Structures are given as structure tokens and as C-alpha cells.
Amino acid sequence: MLFKILFALAALPAVISACPVQQQESYCPGYPVDDFIQGELFNAFFDLFYNKKDVAGAYNTFVAENLIEHSPNVTDGREAGIAALTPLLNIANIQVVHKIFDYGIASVHSKFTLPGQSLSTGM
């Protein structure tokens, strides 16, 4: 189960940048925006997700309801992502190693350590 959840986290950069043309209740504008606006949206998602560990808030604000999940272990949809990631973020110690937004591409390299485990998993 842990692998399934961690695998889902690996798809976050794709989740953040993949915005369908039509959607409801999302900050994804559905039309091209400049790099500055993209960076602002990415930073707001990052703050909610990584700093505040508010998976539901981050996903409900910035992720399309009809998200296509690329992990074979998590079903499609925003709610499935929230259900898969919330338990992990509630217990994991997360260390952000790199956070990059450049030329319209976002990436987060982070290290997750679970209670009772000495090994970490990098994303």
C-alpha cells in the first residue's frame, strides 16, 4: 500500500501541469497563461500540499475533478487522489530537497520518511 501511495506522489508534477480545457471549481484557467501566473499557481499548490499538508485543500483548489491518474494503483479522479495521499501526508516526515518552476515546468524532489522506518523514499 505504501508503494502505491508513494508511486502516486511521483505523478504530482504531471498532475499540476495537466489542466483540461473545461472544469469547475479549479484554479486551472483552461486557457494559456504566462509563466508568472503558472508559477503563482504552483507555489500556492505547493504551500497547501507540502507545507500545510492539506491534500484535500490543494486538490480541491488546483486539481481537476476528472483527473486522469497515471499510477496503476490509484483510480482516476480528484477524490481518489485525496484518499490515496491524505493518510501518507498525515504520518510522513517530508523534506523538500528541490522545488523548481522554470519555463512552465514544475518539479518537486522530496524525501518521505515514515514513522519507525530508517529508510526514506525519494520522489
pLDDT in tens, 98-113: 999 998 889 999 998 8
Q: Is residue 98 part of a domain?
A: no
Taking CA atoms, 115 is separated from 86, 93, 102, 118, in Å, by 15, 8, 34, 8
* 10: in domain: yes
For range 3-7, the mean pLDDT: 46
Q: Is 115 left (phi over 0), alpha (psi -120 to 50) or beta?
A: beta
Structural domain includes residue 68: yes
Range(s) of the domain holding residue 49: 2-92
Instruction: Answer yes or no: is 114 within a domain.
Output: no
DSSP 84: H
For residue 34, what are the contacts with CB-CB under 8 A and spacing of at least 6?
Answer: none
**Section 93-99 average pLDDT:** 93
Residue 115 resides in a domain = no
Any domain includes 97: no
Closest CA to 27 of 42, 13, 12, 14: 42
Q: What is the total count of domains within the chain?
A: 1
Q: What's the Cα-to-Cα distance from 28 to each of 23, 33, 62, 67, rounded to whole Å?
A: 8, 10, 6, 12
121 part of a folded domain: no
List alpha helices for the chain, DSSP H: 2-10, 12-17, 35-46, 55-62, 78-91
- Summarize the confidence of residues 69-89 as an average pLDDT: 91
Residue 16, pLDDT > 50, answer: no
Confidence of residue 84 (pLDDT cuts 50, 70, 90): very high
Place of cell 523548481: 100
Q: How many CA atoms lie within 13 A of 28 on its CB side?
A: 21
Determine, yes or no, domain membership for 103. no
pTM for this model (two decimals): 0.70
What is the C-alpha to C-alpha distance for residues 109 and 97, in angstroms, rounded to an integer? Answer: 5
